[in-house]
Amino acid sequence: MKATKYDDIDWGNCQLTPLNLQQRIAIAFLDNNKREIQGLVNTLTSGFAARAMAIRKVTSAPGKRTPGVDGERWDDSDTKFEAIERLKNLKNYKAKNQPQSNA
């Protein structure tokens, strides 16, 4: 069952899915199966579980109330789930430089 709200996400499954994919990538690497590695890496980076875990990690870190380079803050469940959905399409992603303080 795919979650439709941030609070409905099965975090146990979200933690296991990337680990299983990483193990399969390691096995494919040992077998020198480059095509399978590429497919598994794509599945890992674009899968719901990895995106959800990334958002969870960012929003539970000590700096969770600090807005990012884009000025957004993910305070409530709705904005967190929207962020997970937006991470689906990263084909046009352009990295932004973070300003450095001269301290």
Q: For the whole model, what pTM was predicted?
A: 0.73
Report pLDDT digits (tens) over 14-42: 999 999 999 999 999 999 999 999 999 98
CB atoms within 10 A of CB 74: 20
The CA distance from 63 to 103, in Å, is 19
pLDDT value of residue 41:
92
